[in-house]
Structure 1
Amino acid sequence: MGADAVVARAALHFWEEPCISGKRGSGAVFFTGCSLQCAYCQNYSISAERKTGRAVSPEELAAIFRRLAEQGAHNINLVTPTHFVPAVLRALSLWKPTVPVVYNCGGYESLSTLKMLEGHVDIYLPDMKYADGALAGALSGAPDYVETARAAVLEMARQTGPAVYGADGVMRRGTLVRHLILPGHTRNSLAVLDWLAANLPPGVPVSLMAQYVPCGRAAEFP
């Protein structure tokens, strides 16, 4: 992680959950690269192949955040920002957020990183992809994903507390946990949901996603 971040795209985004995108869109900043290597990633060219993106200084990143807020974004949505956290925090110190800050990630976060983010993030939007370490290793290159993501999600929920929504139904604060159902792995999904039901504190919603598309290297895992 250097002083700069690498940004692939920054624009109003209307395809998150309705409580994130609202009517005016989420101010999504897509960072190049990812701490996971999911074979089926819909943004594979950005996250794994790293074919797009340009380096931006914290000052430029702060200007991007400001521009998105001025365009009417409900929030600033940091998409896969894990490996650029120092640059993000510096940018947030230069531009004091006027809308909620969303940390949109794969759930594979260290507790030390989350401690750095405490007080700077209003909404956590993590995935909980797996309950099976072998599956996580095969499909995402992270055999320790299960224990890492579980600890991370609980820390996120501790930081934000229960979800808070505005009169427009858009989330203002909280943690929203996502799970994508993978073809042929419904047992994994059921195990993930069982764990979430048993361990998430009250007021933490779950988004169950069924929009799997065989992108990236998905064909290698029939």
Structure 2
Amino acid sequence: DPTAKKMPKKKGEDEREVPGVIRKKAVKQLLKDIPTTDWLHDGNNLLWTRKSVTTLHDQRKEVEVPPTKAGGRPYLVGLEVKFEQREIDLSWLHRPQVNKDPAEAMVAISEHKRFVQVAIRTLAQERDELIAQGRKVICADNRLVCDAVTLKYGREMWFGYIGQLEIVNGGLGVGGRIGAPRATLSLNLVASVGLPQMSVIQLLGKLGAKYPGDWRSERDAERDVVWHYWGRHRSFEREI
């Protein structure tokens, strides 16, 4: 029916919407002349910069992002930066704002809370080369607790942590007045199970091995997969 109304597209289906990976690369390209310690991007529409950065106020610029696939065409992304009067002062998180109304102080701290949560996730990925999933940060080596623990069927157990910033009520003060809110940071140790990087043949060998975890059994399963399903020979080198 040509007169029927079109349903709005879901997030990610609009051809004009820039994918998150491309947006992130475009922001890095835009800020390539600014030290990475002077800005923080949440991956979406929020960008924080130090006060010393004055070259980004209220501007629109087109940035060319290299293609993500070999032989592909580069992306041309339009970025618009608008300056907002949002000051981040991390000392507010441990120093109550006694001169502010509790409601106003709560709004100000909420902005700081978002900044800290983004910093925990982003800095863990980009500076420490860890894995971040939401608020969970996963460390697949021994920098946190120990090396990855090998499990059956090719899986591994990795340790990580969840950093959670919470705002707590300041309680009742003198004269029944509610005290200024405070911030608390909690770190919880967590464990995650996943698959390390490997080829499809190696994964099938681990899943089909007669004796899971045994090197020879896994290699026999790999050989069976290659010979019987792909019909081609694959040489195996014995690991010492």
Structure (1/2) with the larger helix percentage: 1
Whichever of the two has the greater Rg, that structure is: 2
TM-score by length of 1: 0.24
TM-score by length of 2: 0.23
Q: Quick one: higher RCO (CA 8 Å, sep 6+), 1 or 2?
A: 1
